[in-house]
Structure 1
Amino acid sequence: MMWQALLLFSLLFFGDQFCSIYEKQSDGVLFELTKKKDTDAQWMKVQVCSDEIIRVIASPVKSFSTRPSLMADKTVWEPVNWSMKQLDDYIEISTAKLKVRVKQETGAVTFLDKNENIILQERSADGKVITPARVMDEDTYNIRQFFNSPEDEAFYGLGGHQNGIMNYKGHDVDMWQYNTIDIIPFLVSSRNYGILWDNNSRTKFGDIREYKSISSLKLYDKDGKEGGLTAEYFSDTEFKNLFTTRTESRIEHEFLDVNDKYPAGFSKNNGSIRWTGQIGSDVNGVHKFRFYVSSYVKMWIDGKLIVDSWKMNWLPWTHLPTIEMLPGEKHSIKIEWIPFEGYIGLKYLDPINEDTKNTISLYSEVADLIDYYFVHGSNIDEVIHGYREITGKTPMMPKWAMGLWQSREHYNTQDEILSVVKEFRDRKIPIDNIVQDWFYWKEDKWGEHEFEASRFPDPAGMIKKLHEKYNTHLMISVWPKFYVGTKNYDELNNKGLLYTQNVLKKQKDWVGPGYYSTFYDPYSTSAREIYWRQIDEKLFKLGVDAWWLDSTEPDIQSNLSLPELMNRVSPTALGTAARYLNTYSLMNSKAVYEGQRKSDPDKRVFILTRSAFAGQQRYASATWSGDVVARWSDLKIQISTGLNFSISGIPYWTSDIGGFGVEKRYEDQEPEHIEEWRELNTRWFQFAVFCPLLRSHGKYPYREIFNIAPEEHPAYKAMLAYDKLRYRLMPYIYSLSGMVTQNDYTIMRALVMDFGKDSRVYNINDQYMFGPALLVNPVTEFNAREREVYLPEGTGWYEFKTGKYFNGGQKVIADAPYSDIPVFIKEGSIIPCGPEIQYAAEKPDGIIRLFVYTGKDGSFNLYEDENVNYNYEKGKFSIIPFTYSEENKTLKIGKRLGSFNGMIESRKFEIVWITKTKSGALDFSMTPDEAVTFNGNEIHLKLK
């Protein structure tokens, strides 16, 4: 349709200033904007998706791209009642919940509630910036959207980032997939809205500039001479035997393909390096540094130790220190690094010259247009509901997935797997899932998906025994990687469904003598179908229960620069790797989810990936935080990583209990370090029990409880007790899982989700809610036997182990003996717990004990279904509602809603009342206050 033929339009003038033409359409308003600069938008549409979801699309030309969204699952929306009117200098769109005002002169959008309070506002001047660009030989656009933000606003989400930051206000986030980073471009505000940024490419929140070489700063050696830092190279790892000294104006040894040279003869494997001197700047203000490094490193600024880190040599990580500098000032710097064949780079940014204190922005490298959804709700749960309305609902995970997973890198034989599971059962340590990591195949057959017969003589029999004798499930690692010459490689290669650059460059991997390999292209429908068929024929038909999809960034070769990495996985079937950079795991998960649902429509899919992207939850995909290391600092960082990941809309997250990578001092089980190793694993396990998924995994030493410590050791006792607690809580946890699917709930909850009116929780990065009842406070320091806990205001709290009552809105010093981490229970909570069990589906008719924490009204719904199939999609599930009235001091067990095959018709409930004057632990040995038999009809129980 030609613009001139639009049914309704208005040509608006302010003096002689041409402003806009607009058309009311069935689902929104289309605008033609005045394009004053090449970077302005020309067409814009404000689409009304629902009463609280508004989509904004802004194009640099008079058309909108028809390129389909990968994240959005819902592209056709039900009609919504809305209206439009022209007011002064803006167009106003109204729904039942929102008002949206579009400035006629600039196209700037403002979102308001029904009382005309501003929720979110685009920056009025140059709010949308669409810059022509050429990326990977494609003519495209860089896009950037600016929003105003009040000073007291906090921001969360954006996926999982290993930076320890809870609130991203005032911080920068560079978003592209990495081993320990998960990208979900959904930004959630403390003001109860979210911005879903529909773009697949590299994206930045905040400062978009690229870090630059420190050679642009003023550098002085240790004697004060300008020109560079003093670099001392040592032939040992203890900084004693000096090999050579030179002056260096930069530290750039970051990548395989782009690197400065070391002095001739220096050994990166046996040596060490110390940089010393001073730095200064001609620019006044806060300078941001990016310190990217692996192996052992320490960094001092002005004599203060600001980095003390260890990472595996092949997996560097980023530290982001800042230094406020004035022209003429000098700041001392010292870096000590033991490379062990690792990587290091130090770069910086000058102070930003624009006032960004009350402005935020989102930027993407490759785009046809700006495309974002404004998602509003009365609370953050409703915001996440909106995210899942757009990107897809989360299916039910199998119930067994809520139990303990045991893994290691890796079980080498069939006998190892069976003997480990037998040991769990003999010791009565609850477990549900044993995980087979990589390398179960013959060394040169990566991608064949076949067990090596000499080590796994009867994989089908092994899986059958796991199922029938041990009531245990098997998850298996499957990579998107194929060795040249394997049958599966040849099939995909002959159809042009593999990336070719890694092979053409003759890149060998790290296995044995090194083998040539590449990854498949999941952006091709044909490739996804073949990939699944190959897995189905070799693994699924054996009885495998779940899929561990590793290396889904895709990490085709570690430690490549980003441009070279994109070159290795380009082109895709849909376009350049730059355009689709962050979506590989989404499409790979799609291959397995859709494939299994066709192969066996009744068996629930369960997928674990190392990467995530918006919408991935619809493919029954959970994510773990990648190859983090066994350090206390990494344990603490997992908390904020998991919380921001979860608030980004994907509900199932976990980490490697104890950390994947292990220092030699732990590997060798040195006597002076073994107790720290045991305590670290214990504290990590205690934290993980209150995560959506409970997964023990890592390199040697082995991570089974009985391999970490002997039976009489407090570490063994504590981990066993917490494992048993997890299984006691199974009715609560599986009900939370039901809430995820039925109500778009989030299990692992940043405090802002439940206590958004208490601004003191905005930056707390080491406390969270596990469901509606439990305030979890992990212990993240060696030998700590207490920790500070903030109890959010607006409610009272009961201490988990004693039942002691505390008022909210205060900090307390909570006991943290080796055996326990501090947990508090919110008043008004009803927690259903089951009997002691060894696997999740054991004793389905067991007595359920209801712990009722009085002081406020409360409710909880007990969800049950058939645990392993998709009959719940046909309505086959039940809910038993519990409601407590503080005024009447009465617990109501409501009438059962729904039914399913095998449902326990008659249940016994035991009631334990916890009050301010009658304290009591969440204790299963105590005599309950009363017991009732429930046959599906309503029961009222009075507090006595």
Structure 2
Amino acid sequence: MIDRKQRIALACAGLAFFSVNTVAEVQTATLEKATLNIDTDTNDFTISALHDSGFQVTYLTDDNGTPYANLPSMALPEPALTDVTNKKANDVELVETATTLILKLNNIAAHVDKATHAISYSINGKIVAKEQGGLSISSNGVSLSFALDEDEKLYGGGQRVLGMNRRGNTMPLYNKAHYGYTTSSNQMYFGLSAVMSSKHYSVLFDNTASGQLDIGSSTPDELLFTAQGGRASYIMVLGESLADTVQSTVAVTGKQPLPPRWLLGNFASRFGYKSQDEVTSVVDAFNTQDIPVDAVVLDLYWFGKDIQGHMGNLNWDSETFPEPEKMISELRNQDVKTVLITEPFILTTSRQWESAVANNALAQNDNGMPYTFDFYFGNTGLVDVFNEAGQDWFWQYYEKLAAQGVAGWWGDLGEPEVHPDDIQHTWSNAGLGNKTVSGAEVHNGYGHQWAKTVYNNLTELQPDTRPFILMRSGFLGSQRYGMVPWTGDVSRSWGGFKPQVELALQMSVFGMAYTHSDLGGFAGGEIFDAELYTRWLQFGTFSPVFRPHAQDNIAPEPIFHADPVKSIARKFIQLRYDMLPYNYSLAFENALYGTPLMRPLAMKYGESDWFENTESYLWGDALLVSPVTSPNQVAWSTALPEGVWFDFFSDTRYQGEQTVDYPLTQDNFPVWVKAGSLMPMTKGLSRTEQFDTRKIEMHYWHDNSVNSSSYTYYEDDGKNPASVEKGLYTKLHVRSSVDENAALTLTLDSEGSYIGMPKQRNITYVIHGLRDKPQSVSIDGNSVPVTWDDKGKTLSLAFSCDYQQSVEVLIM
């Protein structure tokens, strides 16, 4: 074994060619804490243990042995690198054999071939991933190559419409708007330079440059990332299962902070509200028509009365919004939040152009002057979000708007929509000195850096507030800056609706768990399609964010439509609010463990059967959702996994492992509850602020085939940004068990606390799936009255319990 910190010389084994780059023997190796430093006669590189389930590989010299200046990591949170340097000596182990250096971390390991320096990776002693060409740095740029097994399937590439298994596709690594996309798209707003394998590993290419991802397309057995330049580094994450790989990948890149509870409410949004009077009248209409709403989103008309010519004003249009602070205050008094759009483009005709130039806030050309170019909105410059001067200048406008009461932030066009390859950014604190970086090198990191700037400044300005940051473009790890992505300017058509499950799932497994769509569709459409609109909103009820948004030639808000559209929308929006305790618990699970809210079925059921499924998804563990994405259907086929399932709307029982033709009406669609599931719910909210933690309905779907089950409900004050970090929350543990006499026992326990937590709760159990009224029901041994719905076959019983009181309900 090689001793820690011992520098060793290894015998020469000659040169070999390995896929795309020349490889060479390992000459020396040094282990310092959790980082293995390896020198060869060409590439020098490091392998660092990350978290508990991954490795980071970074090349320090190019293929000719010349030192290489790496850009900073964007995929990794800064504490991750500190974690590497602070790991204790016994966290990792280095083992040497005659042919291999093995860096071990828990049950995973990186194996370095001494003769070729190629790396393979194992979990529990089994090799699951192998470099084919590995990293390479040449005059052509940076590349990364891995071998693929014949039967391997892969998620990856982020927002694309290509099917869940992305193998066999080549795609640009260049975030770019795709206006009006439908059922096929190879390049969209938010790509990811990463893949996740059915063999339970993920590869994250930590490079923000313009490039390409080839997943076994050009060469069937090769995964190949290429980039014009940029960072020469990747991250390997290994898991025991797909679910474990998802959680571990998010743990490495950084978990999403817990959002404000109002994110889970209904948003009033369109392109766009043109005046203060229009905003207030829209909210009034939601109120009078008894449709819940929590936020209103203002598109670009807040700073100019026309679409073109005003971008970069960054201040209210005083003619159309004469009293914005009054408007915001009146909305806030109704528990309605105000969200504003901003863009990083500063038009030369805008009010702030001269200020931006004077403060060196803009990206530059080769002569050190602001780089200007034409695009749809006018002649413009671009804020340099990498530069401290640009960040500080941009932030002053956010700070003023925050002082006026703006509660949420919408960053649009952040790919950036137009970003010349030769534009120059000054990346402060990147260790580059006076050297600039080109747009081509950092293009895919622009939105990420913008979100980081907004998030970090907001948390400093408003330390007691959870930021809401809606953005359409970013990079691996953007979730740790609270980013809430959406899927861009989707066609207002059935073709636009159909890929939304795929898009959300592909992003969610890599940490972007709040990826959602403009409900109802955004682009085009000359005639209102009532069925499309209602089906899309029904899907949105079980999505991370409920935000109808569209070009305003057809109203996206339900208040402007007649019945039955309005009544159906009202029903499902109310259901969204009724599900707030369940949905907020999903947000808690994501913040604690990185588990997505929308989950591929393969995360819980047989991966070989469900890995490629785009027709259905899990909304948490309890619900299986199958959106109706075609018109004029009388039934919708849904494949059910093993177990027993109940129709969420009718409680009809179905046996799993079959395809069911679900009978459709205009106000239902296939939502299934797994037998044994528990769901906390509430009633009658019109705002999320009205949620009363003292009152919970706990629904349970009973079936004798389920001997036991459990559920954890998470709760805090919905606002404290330190809830997760400081443990300021409570957990209600509910467990079910069925004995040999078919008696059902439900036990309730709690742990943890937070300021303002109720001292007593009023809990109502609603039991579904019973065939007959029980003979007896008792709480802690005492018989209690119950309500039996003979038509719906549901049992309801209410009780009160004190803080951390255990309660046992026995139903016989």
Q: TM-score, normalised by structure 1?
A: 0.75
Deviation at residue 45 of structure 1 after TM alignment = 2.4
Q: 1:423 aligns with which of 285, 291, 296?
A: 285
The C-alpha deviation readout for 1:274-326, integer Å capped at 9, x for no partner, is xxxxxxxxxxxxxxxxxxxxxxxxxxxxxxxxxxxxxxxxxxxxxxxxxxxxx
Gaps of 5+ in 1: 36-41, 134-140, 209-350, 557-563, 667-673
Give the CA RMSD over aligned residues: 2.9
1:121 is the counterpart of 2:130: yes
Secondary structure of residue in 2 paired with 1:895 = strand
Aligned-pair CA distance for 1:892: 4.5
Does structure 1 residue 851 correspond to structure 2 residue 699? yes
Superposition deviation, residue 858 in structure 1: 2.4
**1:131 maps to what in 2?**
138
Q: What amino acid is the match of 1:767?
A: S
Q: Measure how far apart 1:531 and its partner are.
A: 0.8
Q: After the TM superposition, which residues 466-545 of structure 1 pair with which residues of structure 2 at under 5 Å, given as runs?
A: 466-468=331-333, 470-484=334-348, 486-500=350-364, 507-510=373-376, 515-537=378-400, 539-545=401-407
CA distance in 2, matches of 1:16, 1:866: 62
Instruction: Letter of the 2:139 partner, please give it.
Output: P
After superposition, the C-alpha distances for 1:602-625 in whole angstroms (9 at most, x for unaligned) are 121100001121121111110111
Shift of 1:7: 3.5
Q: For the Cα contact (< 8 Å) 1:501–1:569, is it kept in 2?
A: yes
Cα separation, partners in 2 of 1:807 and 1:609, compared to 1, 3 Å = same
Deviations 1:546-590 (A, max 9, x none): 00111101113xxxxxxx732356676651111101011111111
One of 112, 121, 136 as aligned partner of 1:102: 112
Cα offset for 1:507? 4.5
The residue that corresponds to 2:175 in the other structure is 177
Q: What are the within-5 Å matches in structure 2 for residues 377-456 of structure 1?
A: 377-443=239-305, 445-456=310-321
Change (3 A) 1:8 1:569: closer
Give the deviation of 1:506 after TM superposition. 6.8
TM-aligned CA distance change 1:900 to 1:21, over 3 Å:
same
Paired position in structure 2 for 1:89 = 99
Q: Is the 8 A contact 1:34 1:106 kept in 2?
A: no
Q: CA deviation at 1:477?
A: 0.7
Q: Distance in 2 between matches of 1:536 and 1:394?
A: 23
Q: What is the identity, as a one-letter code, of the residue corresponding to 1:586?
A: H
Distance 1:760 1:922, change over 3 A: farther
Structure 1 pair 631–23 and aligned structure 2 pair: CA distance change class (3 A): same
The letter of the residue matching 1:425 is N
Q: Which residue of 1 aligns with 2:479?
A: 617
Alpha-carbon displacement from aligned partner over 1:872-919 (angstroms, at most 9, x marks no partner) = 143322221222234586555443222222222211211122347579
- Distance in 2, matches of 1:16 and 1:203, equals 28
Structure 1 counterpart SS, 2:245: helix
Alignment of 1:321-360 (within 5 A): 352=218, 356-360=219-223
CA–CA distance in structure 1, aligned partners of residues 768 and 798 of structure 2: 15
Correspondence for 2:421: 566
| CA apart distance, 1:91 | 1.9
Contact persistence 1:404–1:694 (CA under 8 A): yes
| 1:201 equivalent among 191, 196, 209 | 209
Distance 1:378 1:423, change over 3 A: same
Inter-CA distance 791–927: structure 2 relative to 1 (3 Å threshold):
closer
Are the structure 2 counterparts of residues 28 and 817 from structure 1 closer, same or farther at C-alpha, using a change threshold of 3 Å? same
How far off is 1:844 after superposition?
A: 0.9
Q: How many residues align?
A: 749
TM-score (norm 2): 0.87
Deviations 1:645-665 (A, max 9, x none): 1112121111111111123x3
Structure 1 501/815 Cα, relative in aligned 2: closer, same or farther at 3 Å?
farther
Quote how far apart the aligned CAs of 1:422 are.
0.7
Do residues 735 (structure 1) and 602 (structure 2) align? no
Cα deviation, 1:221-242, whole Å, max 9, x if unaligned, reads xxxxxxxxxxxxxxxxxxxxxx
Change (3 A) 1:534 1:845: closer
Change (3 A) 1:898 1:521: same
Report if the CA contact (8 A) 2:423-2:438 is conserved. Answer: no
Instruction: Tell me if the contact between 1:448 and 1:482 (Cα under 8 Å) persists in the aligned partners.
Output: yes
Q: 1:458 aligns with which of 314, 318, 323?
A: 323
SS at match of 1:696: coil
Residue type at the aligned position of 1:903 = M
Report if the CA contact (8 A) 1:164-1:641 is conserved: no
State how far apart, in whole Å, the 1-side matches of 2:226 and 2:766 are: 53
Shift of 1:642: 0.9
Distance across 2 between alignment mates of 1:56 and 1:108: 11
- Offset, 1:629: 1.0
Query: Using the alignment, how far apart are the partners of 1:717 and 1:22 within structure 2?
Result: 72
Q: Percent identity?
A: 24
Which consecutive residues of structure 2, in runs of 5 or more, have no partner in the other structure?
A: 17-23, 178-187, 429-435, 774-786
Superposition pairs of residues 810-821 of structure 1, within 5 angstroms: 810-821=658-669
Q: Separation in 2 of the partners of 1:938 and 1:93?
A: 47
Match for 1:901: what amino acid?
Answer: I
Could you say which residue in structure 1 is the equivalent of 2:781?
Answer: none
Deviations 1:648-704 (A, max 9, x none): 2121111111111123x32xxxxxxx4xx1111111111111111111100021111
Matched, 1:799 2:799: no
Tell me whether 498-507 or 759-768 shows the greater mean CA deviation. Answer: 498-507
Aligned to 2:40: 33
Q: Please say which of residues 740-749 and 914-923 is displaced more in the overlay.
A: 914-923
Amino acid at match of 1:131: S
Q: Is the CA contact 1:82–1:94 (under 8 Å) kept in the aligned structure 2?
A: yes
Match of 1:633 in 2: 495
How far did residue 540 of structure 1 move? 1.1
After TM superposition, the structure 1 stretch with the greater mean CA deviation from structure 2, 619-628 or 568-577, is 568-577
| 1:187-213 CA distance string (max 9 Å, x none) | 2122222112111112322169xxxxx
Aligned equivalents of 2:476, 2:788: Cα separation in 1: 40
Matched, 1:726 2:734: no
Question: Do 2:788 and 2:794's aligned partners in 1 also have CA atoms closer than 8 Å?
Answer: no
Aligned in 2, Cα 1:483/1:678: closer, same or farther, shift over 3 Å?
A: same
In structure 2, what is the equivalent of residue 149 of structure 1?
Answer: 148
1:486 is displaced (CA, Å) by: 4.2
Question: What amino acid sits opposite 2:807 in the alignment?
Answer: I
Is the Cα–Cα contact under 8 Å of residues 398 and 868 in structure 1 kept in the other structure?
yes
The offset of 1:509, in angstroms, is 4.9
* Helix, strand or coil at the partner of 1:476: strand
Number of the residue aligned with 2:11:
12
1:775 to 595, 613, 624: 624
Matched, 1:702 2:712: no
Note the 1:646-725 alignment, pairs <5 A.
646-663=508-525, 665-666=526-527, 674=528, 677-699=529-551, 700-707=553-560, 709-711=561-563, 713=564, 715-725=565-575
Q: Is the 8 A contact 1:801 1:922 kept in 2?
A: no
Change in Cα spacing, 1:207 to 1:185, as seen in structure 2 (3 Å) is: closer
Q: Does the CA-based 8 Å contact 2:360-2:389 persist in structure 1?
A: no
Task: Give the direction of change, closer, same or farther, for the CA distance of 1:934–1:376 in structure 2 (3 Å limit).
Answer: farther
Secondary structure of the corresponding residue to residue 602 of structure 2: helix
Task: Please state whether the residue corresponding to 1:581 is helix, strand or coil.
Answer: helix
Alpha-carbon distance change, 921 to 583 in structure 1, aligned in 2, over 3 angstroms = farther
Q: Give the superposition deviation at 1:921.
A: 14
CA gap of 1:806–1:406, structure 2 versus 1, over 3 A, is same
Q: Which amino acid aligns with 1:432?
A: D
DSSP-derived class of the 2:409 partner: strand
Match of residue 50 from structure 2:
49
Shift in CA distance, 913/105, structure 1 to aligned 2, threshold 3 Å: same
User: 2:470 & 2:790 partners in 1: Cα distance?
Assistant: 33
2:492–2:520 CA contact under 8 A, matched in 1:
yes
